[in-house]
């Protein structure tokens, strides 16, 4: 697994395994309004500005050309072949396991494993919770991208948002801003999101990370004591920072909040969220670089990329 697919394997995948039914309805229903992009030789999606009028045309295209990668825009156009007449765009959040700023595995940069993919999954589920609870959004769709997850939002309210508004939502769900000090302990709203992000990071923290954020050595050491970490975690769930503040002192606490904000801001690929003309890997297509399927996920809780996203040709590679 994670080895590049050969042209023969790509052809086999599209002829024997790929099914039109695996393309989500939300794409098929708007197929003629989306721009399609293809990467034929592993050099990036340089075949762009394609309009595909019908699902059957898409089927023919994929089976006949077996592209290295296939993409569809998150945006809708009157003339997708010219990218003209923008009609709206899904709101997308992209977490890539290889780019997580903190991982508990020992993957080399650019690589992924079961552990970091599970962390990416857990994280994107947390993002979805915020979108449901605080923004009351309902049309949330998950896609396994091959090395991480896409969360695609299709509620009417988000479709016409421009980049600045998308950036504002991103800041909120990612925890990309340190809350006002007097509001840090709110039980609900943004401060809770920030606290939950902080809670998740606690288990991944190490001395090097804390020091890189400017937390003084003595305080950083004290925080990493397992008992202290447990107490801090319990208190954060309750909305309290008492032990954290006591352990880090005022300057260390401020540095720690800033560190959390910085890590939060790097969890999601902001460029994907704010770009209203983005193309994204087409669910059902093959991520040839790692030989995994890009999968539309119907049941996120039960989804396991190593069961549900591995093409047959990989299982048979031996």
Partner 1 sequence: MLPPLVNPFSKRAQRYFKLEFGEEAFAEAKRKLAGEVKLGLSPEVDAQSFYLLLMSASLRGYASKEARAAKEIVRKHVSSRIWTLLQQQGWGTSSFNPESLVYLLEDFELLTIAQAGVKLEESDTRHLLAAHKGEPLLYAAPWHELLPALRSRRLSLTQLYLTRGYALLTIKQAIECYAESIAERCDDFMRSVDGEEVQDERLEEIADALARVALSSMPAFSKRAGKALKEEHFPPCIRATLAGVGSGSRNYAITVLLTSFLSYARIAPFNAGENARIADFIDDISVVTEEVLPVIYAAAERCSPPLFEDQPLEKLNINYHLGFGLTEELRLEDSGKSPWYFVPNCEKIRREAPSLCSPDKHCKEVKNPLVYYTRRRYAREEK
Residues classed as catalytic: 94, 96, 269
Nearer to partner 1, 17 or 266 (CB): 266
* Angle, CA of 9, 12 and 14, to the nearest 5°: 110
Nearer to partner 1, 111 or 275 (CB): 275
Question: How many angstroms separate the Cα of 309 from the Cα of each of 132, 143, 209?
Answer: 26, 11, 33
Footprint of partner 1 (CB under 8 A): 99, 101, 109, 133-137, 157-158, 161-165, 167-169, 171-172, 176-180, 182-183, 185-190, 212, 214, 239, 258, 261-262, 265-266, 270-271, 274-275
CA distance 120 to 34: 27
> What residues does 72 pair with on adjacent strands?
36, 280
Q: Could you tell me the smallest distance in angstroms from the CB atom of residue 129 to partner 1?
A: 13
Q: Could you tell me the smallest distance in angstroms from the CB atom of residue 136 to partner 1?
A: 3
Helix (H), strand (E) at residue 76: strand 75-79
What does DSSP assign to residue 317?
T
| DSSP secondary structure, 162-217, as one string | -HHHHHHHHHHHHT-SPPPGGGTT-SSSHHHHHHHHHHHHHTT--HHHHHHTT--H
Nearer to partner 1, 271 or 302 (CB): 271
User: By C-alpha distance, which of 256, 265, 266 is closest to 209?
Assistant: 256
Nearer to partner 1, 7 or 189 (CB): 189
Do residues 272 and 96 lie in contact, with contact meaning Cβ atoms separated by under 8 Å?
no
Q: Could you tell me the smallest distance in angstroms from the CB atom of residue 279 to partner 1?
A: 16
Q: Which residue has the tokens 């954020």?
A: 213
Do residues 161 and 169 lie in contact, with contact meaning Cβ atoms separated by under 8 Å?
yes
Nearer to partner 1, 17 or 111 (CB): 111
Q: Could you tell me the smallest distance in angstroms from the CB atom of residue 39 to partner 1?
A: 23
Q: Could you tell me the smallest distance in angstroms from the CB atom of residue 144 to partner 1?
A: 23
């Amino acid at each position: 697994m994670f080895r590049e697919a050969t042209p023969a394997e790509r052809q086999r995948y599209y002829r024997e395994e790929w099914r039109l039914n695996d393309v989500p309805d939300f794409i098929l229903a708007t197929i003629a309004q989306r721009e399609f992009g293809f990467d034929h030789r592993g050099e990036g999606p340089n075949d762009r500005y394609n309009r595909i009028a019908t699902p059957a045309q898409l089927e023919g295209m994929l089976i006949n050309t077996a592209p290295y990668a296939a993409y569809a825009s998150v945006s809708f156009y009157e003339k997708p072949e010219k990218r003209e007449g923008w009609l709206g765009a899904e709101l997308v959040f992209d977490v890539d396991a290889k780019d997580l700023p903190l991982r508990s595995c020992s993957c080399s940069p650019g690589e992924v494993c079961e552990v970091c993919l599970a962390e990416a999954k857990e994280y994107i589920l947390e993002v979805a919770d915020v979108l449901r609870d605080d923004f009351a959004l309902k049309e949330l769709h998950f896609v396994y991208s091959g090395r991480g997850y896409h969360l695609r939002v299709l509620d009417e309210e988000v479709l016409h948002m421009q980049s600045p508004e998308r950036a504002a939502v991103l800041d909120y769900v990612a925890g990309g801003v340190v809350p006002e000090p007097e509001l840090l302990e709110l039980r609900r709203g943004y401060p809770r999101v920030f606290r939950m992000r902080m809670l998740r990071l606690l288990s991944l923290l190490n001395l090097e990370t804390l020091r890189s954020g400017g937390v003084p050595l003595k305080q950083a050491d004290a925080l990493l004591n397992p008992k202290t970490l447990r107490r801090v975690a319990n208190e954060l769930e309750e909305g309290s920072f008492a032990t954290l503040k006591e352990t880090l002192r005022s300057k260390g606490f401020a540095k720690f909040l800033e560190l959390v904000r910085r890590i939060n801001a790097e969890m999601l690929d902001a460029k994907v969220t704010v770009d209203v003309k983005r193309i994204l890997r087409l669910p059902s297509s093959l991520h040839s670089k790692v030989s995994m399927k890009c999968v539309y996920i119907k049941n996120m809780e039960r989804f396991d990329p190593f069961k549900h996203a591995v093409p047959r040709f990989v299982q048979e590679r031996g």
